[in-house]
Amino acid sequence: MKKYTEMTQKELLFEKERLEEEYKKVKEKGLKLDMSRGKPAQDQLNLSMAMMDVLKGDSDLRCETGVDCRNYGVIDGIPEAKRLLGAMSEVEPDNIIIYGNSSLNVMFDTVARSMTHGVMGNTPWCRLPKVKFLCPVPGYDRHFKITEFFGIEMINVPMHIDGPDMDMVEELVSQDPAIKGIWCVPKYSNPQGYTYSQKTVERFARLRPAAADFRIYWDNAYSIHHLYDDNQDFLVEILHECERAGNPDIVYKFTSTSKVSFPGSGIAAVAASKANLDDFRKYMQIQTIGHDKLNQLRHVRFFKDLDGLHAHMRKHAAIIRPKFEMVLDTLDRELGSLDIGTWTRPHGGYFISFESLDGCAKTIVALAKEAGVVMTNAGATYPYGKDPHDSNIRIAPTFPKMEDLQEAAKVFVLCVKLASVRKMLGQES
């Protein structure tokens, strides 16, 4: 098909007529589909059902040091859980603390702690006139919500295929002591599926921040969430890299099993230098008597080790890979020649990032919604929900059933086309 950008006004009008007609018919179907959130599908959850049988009424529920996991005690995680999540995070068990069910909660609490108590002896942020975070964009909406909630000013940093714009990061971080952090999803990034290059990680590790309490919030949510066996991204382990660069305390690394076992019933962890972890521990020993050790035990006895995790993730991949490929095929086939959008082709993670023509994203999402297909809100991938080009849309292909996803993808490309011609004809919806 001819590129929209090469069509005459008349051709565009004709195309628009056709699309409006098609859209009207789609609306009449009364669809109810959801491509909005990065949720595992039901058959992915089924993969972990055997975990329900791991701890039984007659099981020995002591961890390897003999501690009864049913009782109080062991505030920062049982040793075997530290080993398992340490392996997943590529750090030593001593460099990790096991938390409750949500790494987002750990990140939130880390910001909250920095607000009220400061980072490793530095001034609590709530006493500073201004605190800022760098936000690679597009990025993860829930990260941005946390910093917004605490009144932290967010500065957009463009994301490239190899990570955030490091020239900009280096310059800002080295000059402005109000900048206290940066949100990163370094592997299979949310929403692009990009993985930071070796060079990017090295530059992160070598940052010389103006603020002593600047930290990289390294949310390695998709570390083992590959889509392919043979086409995997590789991320340099940052803790070790920071140590080598003489910068051991600059990074907090977050992880969880939310999209490995069960979202909401997994286990989360933070990996960092000993000095940082002591800072975390000082807070957590007042905050709680300890996290759910039985769930830690359940995870360790089910997955056993890193090989067990990888084997399990291959089963996830087998379920979601066809979904990603189908959506990508639909985008290629329907939009590939039209010059009205670009999209990423991730090797892992949970999302595809779509870039429409400038000023079209909100319209596309609104049109899709009207036709019964819920997408992530346009703008959500930017701080304050403000996408300056109104062009980014996050596609989450995992949750719907294949048939539903197919339907949803068709609706989506139709809405992209319709919003684009309308825009090109100067008609806002």
Judged by CB under 8 A, the stretch of 3-11, 12-20, 188-196, 280-288 that binds a second copy is: 280-288
Are 423 and 360 in contact by the 8 Å Cβ rule? The answer is: yes
Interface with a second copy: number of residues (CB under 8 A): 57
Adjacent-strand bridge partners of 158: 137
Of these, 87, 104, 184, 242, which contacts a second copy (CB under 8 A)?
A: 104
Of these, 31, 112, 128, 168, which contacts a second copy (CB under 8 A)?
A: 112
Are 166 and 190 in contact by the 8 Å Cβ rule? The answer is: no
Residue 77 near a second copy by CB under 8 A: no
Of these, 146, 154, 269, 405, which contacts a second copy (CB under 8 A)?
A: 146
Residue 217 near a second copy by CB under 8 A: no
Provide the pairing of β-strand 179-184 with 215-219: parallel
List all residues 6 or more positions away from 129 whose beta carbon is below 8 Å from its beta carbon. none
Are 392 and 378 in contact by the 8 Å Cβ rule? The answer is: yes
Judged by CB under 8 A, the stretch of 27-35, 90-98, 102-110, 214-222 that binds a second copy is: 102-110
Residue 246 near a second copy by CB under 8 A: no
Of these, 16, 291, 347, 423, which contacts a second copy (CB under 8 A)?
A: 291
Judged by CB under 8 A, the stretch of 116-124, 240-248, 342-350, 371-379 that binds a second copy is: 116-124
Q: What would the DSSP string read from start to end of 191-223?
A: TT-----HHHHHHHHT---SSTT-EEEEE-TTT
Upper half-sphere CA count for residue 193 (Cβ side, 13 Å): 22
Provide the pairing of β-strand 179-184 with 132-137: parallel
| Residues 292-351, interacting with a second copy (CB under 8 A) | 292-295
What span, in angstroms and rounded, lies between the C-alpha atoms of 83 and 78? 9
Distance between alpha carbon 170 and the CA centroid of its chain, in Å?
A: 23
What span, in angstroms and rounded, lies between the C-alpha atoms of 36 and 142? 13
Q: Closest distance between a second copy and the C-beta of residue 383, in Å?
A: 14
Residue 403 near a second copy by CB under 8 A: no
Return the DSSP state at 78: -
Residue 355 near a second copy by CB under 8 A: no
Q: Is 294 helix (H, G, I), strand (E, B) or coil?
A: helix
Closer to a second copy by Cβ: residue 274 or 282: 282
Distance between alpha carbon 164 and the CA centroid of its chain, in Å?
A: 15
Q: Closest distance between a second copy and the C-beta of residue 387, in Å?
A: 20
Closer to a second copy by Cβ: residue 151 or 336: 151
Of these, 31, 150, 170, 176, which contacts a second copy (CB under 8 A)?
A: 150
Residue 369 near a second copy by CB under 8 A: no
Residue 262 near a second copy by CB under 8 A: yes
Residue 230 near a second copy by CB under 8 A: no
Of these, 80, 109, 219, 387, which contacts a second copy (CB under 8 A)?
A: 109
Tokens of 13: 């009008």
Q: Closest distance between a second copy and the C-beta of residue 45, in Å?
A: 4
Q: Using CA atoms in the order 332, 338, 343, 344, what is the torsion angle rounded to 10 degrees?
A: 50
Closer to a second copy by Cβ: residue 283 or 374: 283
By CB atoms closer than 10 A (0-12, 13-18, 19+), residue 205 is buried
Q: Closest distance between a second copy and the C-beta of residue 378, in Å?
A: 21
What span, in angstroms and rounded, lies between the C-alpha atoms of 356 and 102? 33
Q: Which runs of consecutive H residues, i.e. helices, occur in 336-390?
A: 361-370
Window 29-68: contact mask with a second copy (x via CB under 8 A): --------x-xx-x--x--xxxxxx-xxxxx-x------x
Site residues for a second copy per CB under 8 A: 37, 39-40, 42, 45, 48-53, 55-59, 61, 68-73, 100-102, 104-105, 108-109, 112, 115-117, 124, 126-127, 142, 145-146, 149-150, 262-265, 283, 286-295
